[in-house]
Chain A
C-alpha cells in the first residue's frame, strides 16, 4: 500500500508556516471551503426529513468530537458522555428560562458549566485507568441522570424542561431551515478549534500522555493536569452539543440519554477513527444514517417478493436491529482503524491511479 502522506510533485514548502497549515495543499483547503459553502445551500435543497438528519449529525458530531479528544487523543475512556450532553441541554434551558441571558450566550455558558462538572468527574482519571476508569465514568452517568430526575428546580424532575428557541438580536429563528445554520456554524468552529488544539502545545501533550505517559512526564507534562483537562474538554463539547440540541428540540428530558447513548457516542468515535478529527464526523454520520437506511431498506422489503417468500412479516423489525448490530461488528473487524483511515486510502488510490506501484 502506498504511503498515506503523498505530496503532489511541485508542492515545495519553503517556510515552516506553510508546513503547519491545516490542509496539506491549497487545493484541499479550497475543496473544504467549497464544501462548507455548498452545505450552506442544504436548507434550500433538502427536505425537512434530511435536514433533521443533517442537524442531528452536526449536533452529535460536536459531542463525539469532545469524546474523541478524551478517547482518541488522550487514550482515556468514558461511558458517561451522554450525561454531560444532557447536562449541557438542561443548563442551557435553565439559563435561558430563569435568567435574562439570551440563548445566544446560554449555549457557550452551558458548555462552560458542563466543562466544570466534567473536570470534577475527571479527577478519578488521574488515578484510574482502563476498566476501572470505565466504572468511574459509569458513576458519572448515573449520578447526573439521577440528579436530573430529582432536581425539580433545575430540570423539572419528571416533567420535561422547556427551552427557548434560538434568537439573535430579537430575531427568533424558527424551524429546521434556520436552525441548520446555527448548527453548521458551531460544527465548523468546534472542528477548527480542536484542529488547532491538536497542532499546538496542549494537544501534543494530550497525545503524549496517551502514547507513553512515563516519558510524557519526563518531558515536563503534568499527567494529572492533562488527564483531567481532557475530561473537561470532552465535557465542554458535550455541553455545547447538548445546548444546541435543547434549543433545537425546545424540550429536554432524560429520555434517550441513558448509557446506551453514551455507548453510541463511543461507537461514533471508534467507527470514525480514534484520534481523527474529520473521522469523528464520518463516524457520526455513519451511526446516524445506519438506522435510517435500515429503516428504508426494511420499508422497501415490506410486502416485496422476498418478504412474501420468507414470510418475514413482523420479524422485519427484529431483523433490522440485528442487521445494525452485525454491520457494526463487521465494520470493527474489517475496518478497525475507522472511516478516516479508509478515506485516506481511497484518496491515495486515486492520486496514484492507475500507477499504484
Chain B
C-alpha cells in the first residue's frame, strides 16, 4: 500500500506554547485513519498543518511524495487534499447548493470574464456539468430537501453534512474530517458514520478523522493514533491502542509507575523502588 500522507517530525510552537512536539506518522492510501486524544492534545493543529492553516515550526509533510510543508492552503485542493472544520465554517449567506459549488472552484475553469458572458463562453455549459456532479453529492448525503436553503438557517447536524458535501465536492484523495460528529445525537452520528465509511469504501477516499466518540472510532477506523500534550503516545489498530497503558493514563489519568520513561515524564512523582 502506497503512503498517501507522510508526516515527519512535525513540531509546532506558538511562542512558548508547544502545540505539537516531534509528531511522525503516515497514512496509507485507502485507509480510514483516526486521531484521538484529550482536549488540547494537538489534533486540530495536525489537521491545520496538513491543510496549510499553520506552517510547522520543524519537520516536513509529504503528500504522495510531494513536499507540502510550505505550500499555500489554496493550492492544496488541487493536489487532492480536502477538509472539514470542527467549528462550522460554511458560507452562511449562500445557499447549500452554492456552498457545495464553491467546492468545485479548483475544478471549474470559467473566470470573471467568461463567467460574466455566461451564455457566450461556455461557462453555462461548464456550470451545468458541475451542477450534475454536485447533485450526485447531494443525493449521496440526502440533502435534496435543503438544496436551496440558506446554509446559515440550517440545524447543526445538517450543517455538518453540508460541510462534508462541500469537502467532497473538491474530489479529494485525502479528506480530513475534524470532529465530524461533535454535538450530534445518536441517530445523526450513525448516519455520519455510514457516510464516512461509504466515502472510504465506495468513493475510495483516504480518510483522516479526528473524533471524540470512541465507539465510532473503534468501529470504523483501520488505524488509530493517540495524541497527548502534542506528542504521539500510541499508534496502531484500534483494539491495541485502546489496550495501551499510555492511552489509558492519558484518558483516565491512571497512576502507573511502569510508565516512567524519559519521553513521557510522569505527572506523579515516582516513589516505589
Q: Are A205 and B105 in contact (CB under 8 A)?
A: yes
Q: Are B132 and A196 in contact (CB under 8 A)?
A: no
Q: How far is the CB of A345 from chain B (nearest CB, A)?
A: 16
Interface centre among A194, A201, A229, by most chain B C-beta atoms within 10 angstroms, is A201
Q: Are A200 and B123 in contact (CB under 8 A)?
A: yes
Q: How far is the CB of B17 from chain A (nearest CB, A)?
A: 21
Interface centre among B74, B101, B123, B127, by most chain A C-beta atoms within 10 angstroms, is B74
Q: How far is the CB of B42 from chain A (nearest CB, A)?
A: 19
Distance, CA A215 to CA B94, complexed state (A): 13
Q: Are B110 and A220 in contact (CB under 8 A)?
A: no
Which residues of chain A are within 8 angstroms of B248 by Cβ–Cβ distance?
Answer: none
Q: Are B91 and A20 in contact (CB under 8 A)?
A: no
Binds A, one of B82-90, B200-208, B217-225, B265-273: B82-90
**A95 contacts B by Cβ under 8 Å:** no
Which residues of chain B are within 8 angstroms of A17 by Cβ–Cβ distance?
Answer: 124, 128
Contact of B91 among A19, A202, A207, A223 (CB under 8 A): A207
How many residues in A have their beta carbons less than 8 Å from beta carbons of B?
Answer: 34
B108, closest chain A residue (CB): A201
**B118 contacts A by Cβ under 8 Å:** yes
Distance, CA A217 to CA B103, complexed state (A): 11
Q: Are A207 and B127 in contact (CB under 8 A)?
A: no
**B53 contacts A by Cβ under 8 Å:** yes
Q: How far is the CB of B133 from chain A (nearest CB, A)?
A: 11
**Beyond A17-B128, A212-B91, A275-B93, is A218–B105 a contact (Cβ under 8 Å)?**
no
**Beyond A200-B123, A215-B85, A221-B105, is A193–B116 a contact (Cβ under 8 Å)?**
yes
**A150 contacts B by Cβ under 8 Å:** no
Q: How far is the CB of B142 from chain A (nearest CB, A)?
A: 19
Which residues of chain B are within 8 angstroms of A323 by Cβ–Cβ distance?
Answer: none
Contact of A196 among B94, B115, B131 (CB under 8 A): B115
Which residues of chain A are within 8 angstroms of B124 by Cβ–Cβ distance?
Answer: 17, 20
Count CB-based A-B contacts (< 8 Å): 118
**Beyond A220-B78, A223-B74, is A201–B89 a contact (Cβ under 8 Å)?**
no
**B92 contacts A by Cβ under 8 Å:** yes
**A120 contacts B by Cβ under 8 Å:** no
**Beyond A208-B94, A218-B73, A223-B74, is A200–B115 a contact (Cβ under 8 Å)?**
yes
Distance, CA A20 to CA B95, complexed state (A): 13
**Beyond A217-B73, A219-B77, A220-B74, is A204–B101 a contact (Cβ under 8 Å)?**
yes
**Beyond A196-B117, A207-B98, is A212–B127 a contact (Cβ under 8 Å)?**
no
Q: Are B106 and A220 in contact (CB under 8 A)?
A: yes
Bitwise, B15-49 to A at CB < 8 A (1) or not (0) is: 00000000000000000000000000000000000
Q: Are A211 and B53 in contact (CB under 8 A)?
A: no
**B112 contacts A by Cβ under 8 Å:** yes
**B231 contacts A by Cβ under 8 Å:** no
**A216 contacts B by Cβ under 8 Å:** yes
**A233 contacts B by Cβ under 8 Å:** yes
Contact of B170 among A5, A210, A219 (CB under 8 A): A219
**A49 contacts B by Cβ under 8 Å:** no
How many residues in B have their beta carbons less than 8 Å from beta carbons of A?
Answer: 46
A214, closest chain B residue (CB): B89
Contact of B90 among A5, A20, A201, A212 (CB under 8 A): A212
Distance, CA A215 to CA B258, complexed state (A): 44
Contact of B116 among A197, A212, A217, A229 (CB under 8 A): A197
Q: How far is the CB of A255 from chain B (nearest CB, A)?
A: 33
Q: Is the interface of A mostly helix, strand, loop or mixed?
A: helix
Bitwise, A145-166 to B at CB < 8 A (1) or not (0) is: 0000000000000000000000
Which residues of chain A are within 8 angstroms of B117 by Cβ–Cβ distance?
Answer: 193, 196
Which residues of chain B are within 8 angstroms of A222 by Cβ–Cβ distance?
Answer: 72, 74
Distance, CA A220 to CA B75, complexed state (A): 6
List B107-125 residues whose CB lies under 8 Å from chain A. 108-112, 114-118, 123-124
**A203 contacts B by Cβ under 8 Å:** yes
Interface centre among A197, A212, A214, A217, by most chain B C-beta atoms within 10 angstroms, is A212
B106, closest chain A residue (CB): A220
Bitwise, A227-268 to B at CB < 8 A (1) or not (0) is: 001000100000000000000000000000000000000000
**A12 contacts B by Cβ under 8 Å:** no
List A1-23 residues whose CB lies under 8 Å from chain B. 5, 16-17, 19-20
Distance, CA A201 to CA B113, complexed state (A): 10
Q: Are A233 and B112 in contact (CB under 8 A)?
A: yes
Q: Are A204 and B131 in contact (CB under 8 A)?
A: no
**A344 contacts B by Cβ under 8 Å:** no
Interface centre among A20, A193, A196, by most chain B C-beta atoms within 10 angstroms, is A196
Distance, CA A218 to CA B112, complexed state (A): 20
Interface centre among B85, B116, B135, by most chain A C-beta atoms within 10 angstroms, is B116
Q: Are B135 and A211 in contact (CB under 8 A)?
A: no
Distance, CA A229 to CA B77, complexed state (A): 21
Which residues of chain A are within 8 angstroms of B110 by Cβ–Cβ distance?
Answer: 200-202
What are 17 A-to-B residue pairs whose CB atoms are below 8 Å?
Answer: A16-B135, A193-B117, A200-B116, A200-B127, A202-B110, A202-B112, A204-B94, A205-B105, A207-B91, A215-B90, A215-B91, A217-B52, A218-B52, A219-B77, A219-B166, A220-B106, A221-B102
Instruction: Rank and list the top 10 A-B pairs by shortest CB-CB distance, nearest first.
Output: A200-B115, A220-B106, A220-B77, A211-B91, A215-B89, A196-B118, A202-B112, A193-B116, A201-B108, A16-B131
Instruction: Give me 8 other A-B pairs in contact (C-beta within 8 A), A197-B116, A207-B93, A233-B112 excluded.
Output: A16-B131, A196-B116, A200-B114, A200-B116, A201-B108, A204-B94, A204-B101, A215-B89
